[in-house]
C-alpha cells in the first residue's frame, strides 16, 4: 500500500488543500440555500393545518429536547475528535469518532420513532400542508445526518487502515465541518419548528 | 509553512459546548414558562438561535482559520444574503396571499 505518501510541505500541495476546503465551504453555502427554501416553505405553511393536528398537539418537548442535546453533544465530540487528530492520537481520534457516530445513530433513531408515532396518530406527510412542509424540512435534515454517519464510518475505516496522514486529516476536517453544519441547521429547526410550534 | 492555523484547544471546545447548552436551555425555559408576549418571545428565541450559530462558527468550525483573503467567509456572507432574501421574501410576499381571503 504505497498510498498517501503525499508531503504536506510542498507549497502547491498546500494551495491545493486550501482550495479543497474552500470548495467544501461553498458546498455548505449551497446546502444552506436548500434549507433556506425548505424553511421558507415551512414558515409560510405552518399555519395551514386544515383545522386539527397542529404542532402544539403533535410535538413533544421531551423528545425534541433530547434530540437537540444529543446533536449538540455529537458536535462537541466531533470537535474533540479533530483535537485528538492534531495531537496525533489515532486511538483517541477513533474513539471520539465512534462516540460521535453512536450519538448520531441515537439521534436518527429518536427521529424515526417520532415520525412513526406521528404517523400512527394520523399525522402523515399527506395530511395537511403544515405536515407536508414539516416532514420535508425535518426529513431532509435527518437524511443529511444519516448520510453523514455513513461518511464518518467510511473515514474511520480509512484511519484504521492508513493511520493519520495529510489525506485522512483533510477528510476528518471536512466531515467535521459537515457535522457542525448539520448542528447549525438543527438549531434553527429546534427554534423555528419545535419551539415556535409548542409556543 | 507559516500558516497561522488555529485548531482550537480543549478549552475552546468545552466553552463552546457550555455556551451552546446554555443557549438551548434559555429559549426552552422561556417558551415553557410563557414569560413574555408572543412577538417578543419569537424575536428573542430567533436572536438566541443566531447567537448559537455564531458560537458554532467560531468555537467549532474555526471560521477565522485559513489564509487571507478568506474566500470562505465571503461565500458565507453571500449565502447569508441569499438565505435572508429567500426566507424573508417568501414570508413577506405570502402575507399578501392571506389578505385576499
ipTM of the complex model: 0.87
Q: How far apart are CA A65 and CA A87, in angstroms?
A: 33
Cβ neighbours of residue B36 closer than 8 Å, sequence gap 6 or more: B30, B44
> Domain range holding A28?
18-48+60-198
Q: Which residues of B touch A195 (CB under 8 A)?
A: 27-28, 31, 45
- Residue A78 located in a structural domain: yes
pLDDT at A1: 43
Among chain A residues, the shortest Cα distance to B31 is held by: A199
- Residue A3 located in a structural domain: no
What confidence tier does B36 reach under pLDDT thresholds 50, 70, 90?
Answer: confident
Q: Domain with A83 in it: what CATH number?
A: 1.20.120.80
Mean pLDDT of B60-70: 80
Beta carbons of A195 and B27 less than 8 angstroms apart: yes
Q: How far apart are CA B58 and CA B79, in angstroms?
A: 17
Beta carbons of B2 and B20 less than 8 angstroms apart: no
Which has more confidence, B38 or A15?
A: B38
- Inform me whether the pLDDT recorded for B1 exceeds 50: no
Q: How far is B100 from chain A (nearest CA, A)?
A: 15
pLDDT at A16: 66
pLDDT at A3: 47
Query: Nearest CB to B87: which of A40, A69, A198?
Result: A40
pLDDT at B64: 79
Which of B31, B59, B97 should we substitute to test contact with A (largest number of A Cβ atoms within 10 Å)?
A: B31
Q: Which of B93, B57, B85 is nearest to A185 (CA)?
A: B57
Query: Nearest CB to B27: which of A21, A75, A191?
Result: A191
- Residue A54 located in a structural domain: no
pLDDT tens series, chain A, 199 aa? 444 444 445 555 666 667 778 899 999 999 999 999 999 999 999 988 887 778 888 899 999 999 999 999 999 999 999 999 999 999 999 999 999 999 999 999 999 999 999 999 989 999 899 999 999 999 999 999 999 999 999 999 999 999 999 899 999 999 999 999 999 999 999 999 999 999 8
pLDDT at A56: 84
pLDDT at A192: 95
- Inform me whether the pLDDT recorded for B4 exceeds 60: no
Overall number of domains in chain A: 1
Phi first, then psi, for residue B13 (nearest 5°) are: -65, -45
Q: How far is B31 from chain A (nearest CA, A)?
A: 6
Q: Which residues of B touch A82 (CB under 8 A)?
A: 7-8
Among chain A residues, the shortest Cα distance to B28 is held by: A195
Which contiguous run of DSSP H or E holds residue B99?
helix B71-100
- The verdict on a CB contact (< 8 Å) between A36 and B52 is no
What confidence tier does B20 reach under pLDDT thresholds 50, 70, 90?
Answer: very high
Amino acid at each position: 500500500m504505497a498510498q498517501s505518501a503525499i508531503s504536506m510541505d510542498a507549497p502547491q500541495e498546500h494551495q491545493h488543500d486550501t482550495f479543497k476546503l474552500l470548495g467544501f465551504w461553498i458546498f455548505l453555502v449551497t446546502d444552506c440555500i436548500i434549507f433556506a427554501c425548505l424553511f421558507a416553505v415551512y414558515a409560510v405553511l405552518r399555519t395551514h393545518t386544515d383545522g386539527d393536528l397542529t404542532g402544539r398537539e403533535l410535538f413533544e418537548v421531551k423528545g425534541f429536547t433530547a434530540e437537540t442535546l444529543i446533536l449538540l453533544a455529537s458536535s462537541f465530540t466531533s470537535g474533540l475528535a479533530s483535537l485528538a487528530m492534531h495531537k496525533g492520537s489515532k486511538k483517541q481520534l477513533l474513539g471520539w469518532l465512534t462516540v460521535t457516530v453512536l450519538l448520531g445513530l441515537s439521534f436518527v433513531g429518536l427521529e424515526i420513532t417520532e415520525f412513526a408515532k406521528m404517523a400512527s396518530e394520523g399525522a402523515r406527510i399527506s395530511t395537511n400542508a403544515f405536515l407536508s412542509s414539516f416532514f420535508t424540512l425535518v426529513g431532509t435534515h435527518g437524511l443529511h445526518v444519516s448520510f453523514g454517519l455513513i461518511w464518518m464510518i467510511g473515514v474511520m475505516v480509512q484511519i484504521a487502515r492508513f493511520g493519520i496522514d495529510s489525506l485522512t486529516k483533510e477528510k476528518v476536517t471536512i466531515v467535521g465541518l459537515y457535522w457542525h453544519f448539520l448542528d447549525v441547521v438543527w438549531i434553527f429547526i429546534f427554534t423555528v419548528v419545535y419551539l415556535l410550534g409548542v409556543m | 509553512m507559516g500558516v497561522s492555523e488555529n485548531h482550537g484547544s480543549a478549552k475552546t471546545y468545552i466553552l463552546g459546548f457550555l455556551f451552546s447548552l446554555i443557549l438551548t436551555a434559555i429559549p426552552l425555559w422561556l417558551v415553557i414558562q410563557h414569560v413574555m408576549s408572543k412577538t417578543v418571545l419569537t424575536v428573542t428565541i430567533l436572536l438566541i438561535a443566531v447567537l448559537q450559530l455564531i458560537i458554532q462558527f467560531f468555537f467549532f468550525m474555526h471560521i477565522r482559520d485559513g489564509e487571507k483573503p478568506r474566500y470562505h467567509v465571503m461565500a458565507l456572507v453571500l449565502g447569508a444574503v441569499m438565505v435572508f432574501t429567500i426566507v424573508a421574501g417568501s414570508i413577506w410576499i405570502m402575507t399578501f396571499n392571506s389578505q385576499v381571503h
